[in-house]
């Protein structure tokens, strides 16, 4: 059985994951207005991934005989500036989510909730990957100053990203 403090914090994390999905879906729509279908595809898959994260917490809470409480999802912005500015916002958001996961780990340690700590380690690793993949895109954008043939090729490359449900990997 989950302790109340842990259950509440996990429910808040479900909201954050769903907000992330909403944010990336909005960025996907915005990318279409920039004429960047590849970036739009990358963002849409990013949104799908966030849904799987929310779902992993959702199932886990039930597994531990806890109660899922879904709260309102905040509205998201609709404009994100240049493609570089948008990816900087993605990185900032992922850093915020990493912080949030770290705080959950702190709570699990405080409560000696080793089962929750164990599932959270998956998310700790996932956040390292998330931040690295966004940083990689930002590095590429800086390399060709976010324009010309480089930008065209990056958009093409991001257009080939396919959805993989990492939560079902093990
Ligand atoms: Mg996530």
Distance (Å) from CA 86 to ligand 1 centroid: 17
For 29-51, what is the mean pLDDT?
98
Residue 134 pLDDT: 98
Distance (Å) from CA 87 to ligand 1 centroid: 16
Tokens of 116: 């929750």
Distance (Å) from CA 48 to ligand 1 centroid: 10
The pLDDT tens digits of the residues spanning 73-111 come to: 999 999 999 999 999 999 999 999 999 999 999 999 999
Residue 170 pLDDT: 55
Overall domain count for the chain = 1
For residue 169, being part of any structural domain is answered with no
Is the model's pLDDT at 1 over the cut of 90? no
**φ, ψ dihedrals at 165, nearest 5°:** -85, 95
Residue 23 pLDDT: 98
Cβ-in-10-Å burial (0-12, 13-18, 19+) of 97 comes to buried
Is the model's pLDDT at 167 over the cut of 70? yes
- pLDDT above 70 as % of the chain: 99
Cα–Cα dist 83/103, whole Å: 30
Distance (Å) from CA 80 to ligand 1 centroid: 20
Cα-Cα end-to-end distance for the chain: 24
Within 8 A by CB and 6+ apart from 113, the residues are 2, 3, 6, 107
- Domain CATH code at residue 155: 1.20.1260.10
Distance (Å) from CA 42 to ligand 1 centroid: 15
Q: ∠151-134-93 over CA atoms, to 5°? A: 125
Distance (Å) from CA 79 to ligand 1 centroid: 21
For residue 170, being part of any structural domain is answered with no
Domain that holds residue 48: 4-164
């Amino acid at each position: 059985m989950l302790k109340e403090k842990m259950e509440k914090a996990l429910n808040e994390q479900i909201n954050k994951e769903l907000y992330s999905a909403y944010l990336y879906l909005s960025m996907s729509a915005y990318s279409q207005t920039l004429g960047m279908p590849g970036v739009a595809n990358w963002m849409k898959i990013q949104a799908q991934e966030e849904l799987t994260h929310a779902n992993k917490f959702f199932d886990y809470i039930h597994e531990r005989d806890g109660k899922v409480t879904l709260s309102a999802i905040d509205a998201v912005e609709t404009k994100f500036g240049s493609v570089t500015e948008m990816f900087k916002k993605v990185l900032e958001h992922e850093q915020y989510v990493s912080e949030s996961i770290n705080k959950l780990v702190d709570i699990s340690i405080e409560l000696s909730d080793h089962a929750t700590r164990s599932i959270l380690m998956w998310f700790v690793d996932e956040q390292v990957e998330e931040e690295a993949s966004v940083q990689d895109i930002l590095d590429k954008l800086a390399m060709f100053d976010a324009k010309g043939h480089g930008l065209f090729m990056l958009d093409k490359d991001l257009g080939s990203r396919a959805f993989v449900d990492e939560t079902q990997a093990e």
